[in-house]
Structure formats: C-alpha cells, structure tokens
C-alpha cells in the first residue's frame, strides 16, 4: 500500500495572532475542572459527535487510529454501567486500594458512589484497539496507549471549548464496559467520560496546577 503525497496547504498567521489565540485557548482550558455533580439537562448529541470528530483528528502510531468512542445516552444502559462500576469501586475502596492511595484521594472527597454515571446526559466510553484481525492474521497497532491518550486529551479539550463539563473516570477493573456495550474482544476500555453541564450547586476542591517553572525547563 502506498500513499500519494500532495502539497501541504498551510496558512501562516502572525506571531501576534498566535499569542492572541494561544492566550484565548489557555483561558478556556484553565477553567476545566473534573465535575462529579452533573445537571441532568440534555443537549443535542451532535455536540458530542463534533467533539469525537475532533478527537479523531489526533495523530496515532502509523495512523492506525486505534480508538473507538461509544456514546451512551440510554438510561437503562447508564444504570447498568453505574451498578457494575459501583460494585468494582466499592471493592476497590474497601479492599483493593492501599492506604497511601486512599490517603491521597481523601482530600478530593471521592468514594465508591457514582451517581453521576446515571445523572450525566451522556457517557463517552473510550476503547483502545491493540490489534485487528484481517485475512485471519492479527495486525498489531503501535503506541496504542499514547495514541488513545492523545485523542482523549483532544476530546476533553474540544468538549471544554464547547462549554461542556467532563470527568475522567477510571472504574477499576473496567472490563465490564466491554461486556455491557457489546464490544469485540480486541477493544479494551480505556476511559469513561461523563459529559454534561455541572449542577447549579456543583462544588470542586480548591486545587491548583503547578506553575510553569515547575513543569518546564529551557536548555
């Protein structure tokens, strides 16, 4: 298989415009917070589709695009997911997580109750695809975690830019999602993202992000 190469279409912008756009985007992104208390208010599923389309532009190892995004809107399926997630999370919080982990989470106020899985109008379940079968051959994908992480980051940014709130939720283990959503065995759950508007009275812990000098080096 060979790709045809074509001239890259590129519209250069001025440094001033770069700075303006960069600042504007930073202002949007710095307001993103993980929300655990959602409003049940619905909105057009087209907004979610647009964000997933944006995520789908992410770079990936050998352009294999090793991801699947499943939108869950059905209250019946959301309930099934909540029940399965809470079962695993209860076990994790009460038995599987070491004390040091529980201590780190305590100030954030999380526990095994996951009402948001039923309340948020949409759940996006991100799956990673490690390989595909073609002509009875297994074809491995490359840098799958990196690729799906990049696409998921772009998904979160797109949703934030559209004024929608998200939570990056990782029930553990989460193979139940493969079963409930009837995905084939080569699709492994990667992240569960409730999406919606925050509840009127939603609260978030007053955390801060590291300052630039703490995360950046210039050599």
Instruction: Kindly list the residues in this chain that would bind ligand IYR in the complex (CB under 6 A).
Output: 89, 105, 110, 169-172
State in angstroms the smallest separation of the CB of 3 from ligand IYR: 40
State in angstroms the smallest separation of the CB of 62 from ligand IYR: 31
State in angstroms the smallest separation of the CB of 33 from ligand IYR: 13
In whole angstroms, what separates CA 80 from the centre of its chain?
Answer: 20
State in angstroms the smallest separation of the CB of 2 from ligand IYR: 44
**Closest to 167 in 3D by CA, of 85, 57, 74:** 85
In whole angstroms, what separates CA 107 from the centre of its chain?
Answer: 23
State in angstroms the smallest separation of the CB of 47 from ligand IYR: 24
State in angstroms the smallest separation of the CB of 166 from ligand IYR: 13
197, two tokens:
């508007």
Q: Which is nearer to ligand IYR, 45 or 105 (CB)?
A: 105
Q: Which is nearer to ligand IYR, 53 or 79 (CB)?
A: 79
Q: Which is nearer to ligand IYR, 63 or 168 (CB)?
A: 168
Q: Which is nearer to ligand IYR, 65 or 92 (CB)?
A: 92
- Which residues contact residue 217 at a Cβ distance below 8 angstroms, ignoring those fewer than 6 apart? none
Q: Which is nearer to ligand IYR, 36 or 141 (CB)?
A: 36
What phi, psi does 187 have (nearest 5°)?
-110, 115
Angle at the Cα of 148 (from 45 to 55), degrees rounded to 5?
35
Q: Which is nearer to ligand IYR, 22 or 109 (CB)?
A: 109
Helix (H, G, I), strand (E, B) or coil at 40: coil
Q: 197 vs 11, 32, 51, CA distance in Å?
A: 35, 12, 15
Q: Which residue is nearest to ligand IYR (CB)?
A: 110
Strands 187-196 and 67-72: unpaired
Check: CB of residue 93 under 8 Å from CB of residue 111: yes
**Closest to 165 in 3D by CA, of 59, 43, 55:** 43
């Amino acid at each position: 298989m060979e790709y045809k190469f074509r001239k890259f279409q590129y519209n250069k912008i001025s440094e001033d415009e770069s700075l303006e756009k960069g600042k504007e985007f930073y202002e949007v992104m710095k307001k993103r917070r993980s929300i655990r208390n959602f409003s049940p208010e619905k909105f057009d599923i087209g907004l979610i589709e647009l964000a997933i389309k944006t995520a789908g532009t992410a770079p990936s190892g050998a352009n294999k695009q090793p991801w699947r995004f499943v939108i869950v809107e059905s209250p019946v399926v959301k309930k099934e997911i909540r029940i399965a997630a809470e079962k695993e999370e209860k076990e994790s919080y009460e038995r599987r997580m070491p004390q040091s982990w529980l201590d780190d989470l305590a100030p954030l106020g999380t526990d095994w109750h996951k009402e948001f899985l039923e309340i948020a109008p949409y759940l996006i379940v991100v799956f990673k695809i490690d390989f595909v079968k073609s002509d009875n051959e297994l074809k491995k994908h490359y840098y799958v975690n990196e690729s799906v992480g990049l696409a998921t980051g772009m998904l979160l940014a797109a949703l934030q830019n559209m004024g929608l709130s998200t939570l990056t939720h990782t029930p553990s283990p989460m193979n139940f999602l493969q079963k409930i959503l009837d995905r084939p065995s080569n699709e492994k759950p990667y992240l569960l993202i409730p999406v919606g508007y925050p509840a009127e009275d939603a609260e978030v812990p007053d955390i801060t992000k590291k300052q630039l000098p703490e995360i950046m080096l210039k050599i």
